[in-house]
């Protein structure tokens, strides 16, 4: 009886782009791919720490790929991108023409996992295609693979975000991954890293009014029934205040150095949104279909009101929370978060407010105007 294979050996090209993370180009069959590679789906451990980075399977998309793979004429040109363990071994071929200055030819040896061992590779891009290959009748189909060596999950997340930068990744997935990546990111993503990290902190801090209430891309835990606010709404609320010169969070970031007073930002958000929770207890913690305060439009509009209220409050005052509540009470009479009609918006029914720019802007303007008028009447 033939001995079981302990490794897979493939002819490969090695591109030495960096000394720390060599890049290999080679091929695997569909059967071999999932023998070697895990799909690192996003989740959290018992302590709330983020694990993995992939999105959940998309069943319809996978089945479409399976149907194509099982058809008569198949061309599979798109490479699967893998992160390889440093356990792999590359032996360069001998001879005068094994390198052209860009790549070197040789043999890549990838160890197969023994019982109880983790697999030596992780799929960074091509998750759906890999699952489809495992379900198709073409397990022997040779597929192109591009792989880099990296044991660090943080580096793998960084590459995952870069590879998918121009693809329609779910916003919630990007929001949850960004705080875990410390390397320089494309400008568009880098601008969202701090708001995403603050969103993460608000969701995981017991003294936060948002504790356990923010829906994330990672699989739900026992608090899932309590998670009623989309993370993108919180991120946009924070981002807008942080980047607008009129935002109350804007002074907490040094544009020249990029330094951010994270604690100062979080303290303001805790103060203001705790006040919101206390002033609108009947609307707080409900699902968006039962309370528009927990809806994207409500979060964004109340965030813009925050930019008006916080500058009027002495943050060093021991009674700062009561002062915030006093300011918020000025707009309470016009709010229709859970029932009734918004008279100031032409009688729009409370649950007809939608998370679209037009409604967000209208609701923001109504709240701010009501607040400023009430302040004028206040002695």
Q: Are residues 206 and 266 in the same domain?
A: yes
**Is residue 1 situated within a structural domain?**
no
Q: Is the pTM of this model over 0.85?
A: no
Residue where a domain terminates, one of 145, 163, 181: 163
Instruction: Evaluate whether 243 touches 250 at the Cβ level (below 8 Å).
Output: yes
Q: Are residues 143 and 222 in the same domain?
A: no
What is the tens place of the pLDDT at every residue in 268-299? 999 999 999 999 999 999 999 999 999 999 99
Token pair belonging to 90:
């590359």
Is 70 exceeded by the pLDDT of residue 118? Answer: yes
What is the tens place of the pLDDT at every residue in 149-203? 887 767 766 766 666 654 544 555 445 444 554 544 444 444 567 888 888 889 9
pLDDT, mean over the chain = 81
DSSP E strand boundaries for the chain = 7-15, 23-29, 37-38, 43-44, 50-51, 80-84, 89-92, 104-111, 121-125, 142-149, 214-215, 229-230, 341-342, 348-349
Instruction: Evaluate whether 137 touches 198 at the Cβ level (below 8 Å).
Output: no
DSSP E strand boundaries for 208-259 = 214-215, 229-230
**Is residue 3 situated within a structural domain?**
no
Which helix (H) or strand (E) is 162 found in, with range? helix 153-163
Q: Which domain holds residue 243?
A: 171-377
CA torsion angle for 333, 337, 340, 345 (degrees, to 10)?
80
Q: Are residues 199 and 254 in the same domain?
A: yes
262-279 and 231-243 helices, crossing angle to 10°: 120
Q: Are residues 248 and 339 in the same domain?
A: yes
Token pair belonging to 222:
């026992």
Say how many domains are in the chain. 2
**Is residue 98 situated within a structural domain?**
no
**3-state class of 168 per DSSP?**
coil
Query: Within 10 Å of residue 128's Cβ, how many Cβ atoms?
Result: 21
Which pLDDT belongs to residue 234? 93
Which pLDDT belongs to residue 156? 66
158-to-80, 88, 183, 208, 258 alpha-carbon distances in Å = 17, 21, 7, 29, 20
SS3 letters across 12-68: EEEECCCCCCCEEEEEEEHHHHHHHEECCECEECCCCCEECCECCCCHHHHHHHHHH
Token pair belonging to 174:
């990007």
């Amino acid at each position: 009886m033939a001995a079981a294979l302990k490794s897979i050996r493939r002819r490969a090209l090695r591109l030495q782009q960096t000394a720390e993370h060599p890049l290999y180009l080679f091929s695997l069959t569909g059967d071999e791919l999932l023998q070697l590679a895990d799909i690192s789906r996003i989740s959290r451990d018992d302590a709330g720490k983020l694990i993995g980075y992939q999105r959940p399977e998309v069943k319809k998309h996978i089945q479409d790929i399976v149907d194509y793979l099982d058809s008569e004429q198949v061309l599979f040109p798109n490479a699967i991108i893998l992160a390889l363990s440093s356990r792999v071994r590359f032996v360069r071929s001998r001879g005068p023409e094994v390198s052209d200055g860009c790549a070197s030819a040789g043999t890549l040896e990838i160890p197969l996992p023994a019982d109880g061992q983790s697999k030596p590779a992780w799929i960074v891009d091509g998750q759906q295609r890999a699952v489809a290959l495992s379900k198709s009748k073409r397990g022997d189909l040779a597929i192109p693979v591009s792989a880099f060596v990296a044991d660090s999950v943080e580096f793998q997340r960084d590459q995952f975000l870069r590879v998918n930068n121009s693809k329609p990744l779910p916003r919630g997935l990007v929001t949850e991954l960004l705080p875990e990546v410390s390397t320089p990111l494309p400008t568009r993503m880098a601008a969202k890293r701090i708001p995403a990290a603050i969103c993460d902190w608000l969701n995981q801090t017991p003294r936060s009014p948002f504790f356990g209430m923010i829906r994330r891309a990672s699989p739900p835990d026992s608090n899932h029934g309590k998670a009623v606010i989309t993370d993108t709404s919180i991120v946009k609320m924070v981002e807008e205040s942080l980047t607008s010169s009129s935002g109350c969070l804007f002074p907490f970031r040094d544009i020249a150095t990029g330094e951010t007073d994270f604690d100062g930002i979080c303290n303001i958000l805790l103060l203001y949104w705790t006040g919101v929770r206390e002033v609108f207890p009947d609307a707080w913690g409900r699902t968006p279909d039962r309370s528009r305060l927990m809806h994207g439009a409500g979060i964004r509009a109340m965030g813009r009101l925050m930019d008006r209220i916080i500058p009027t409050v002495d943050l060093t005052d021991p009674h700062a929370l009561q002062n915030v509540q006093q300011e918020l009470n000025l707009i309470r009479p016009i709010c229709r978060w859970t029932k009734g009609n918004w008279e100031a918006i032409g009688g729009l029914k409370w649950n007809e407010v939608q998370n679209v720019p037009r409604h967000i802007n209208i609701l923001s303007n109504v709240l701010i105007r009501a607040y400023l008028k009430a302040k004028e009447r206040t002695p």
